[in-house]
Amino acid sequence: MSIEGPDRLEESVRDEMVRQLRQNLARCRRVILDEKMDLKTQERWTQLYNNTSQVLNQILKDRQTRDWEKRLREIENTEAFRKEQYSLRPILQTQRQQTQSGSNSEL
């Protein structure tokens, strides 16, 4: 599955966003667990942690949905191609038989 053009750019932007969000979550976690911080500061960082994790989860869910949709389209295209091949099989066999009988009659 190769990604081309705008999809590749979008994917690289998403990858960078995911990386930054994970770094922010780690930073928030360190501050939250720091016992030297007052409760009000820990509470603000906890809220930031929750908001960041919601954004990250949504981005990952969107990515998964896009991947599934792309995979489904590939499967549907493969199935459509197979059905087309099966529907053409009798026609192709008839053409082959006609070609063979035409070349046999020339002998």
Q: Each residue of 44-68: pLDDT tens digit?
A: 999 999 999 999 999 999 999 999 9
- Tell me which residue range forms the domain holding 23: 5-106
> Total domain count for the chain?
1
Over residues 77-103, the mean pLDDT reads 70
Asked if residue 56 lies in contact with residue 16, where contact means CB atoms within 8 angstroms, the answer is no
- The pLDDT value recorded for residue 17 is 94
Q: Up-side HSE of residue 99: CA atoms within 13 Å toward CB?
A: 6
How many residues in the chain?
Answer: 107
- Three-state DSSP class for 2? coil
- Three-state DSSP class for 107? coil
Over residues 76-104, the mean pLDDT reads 70
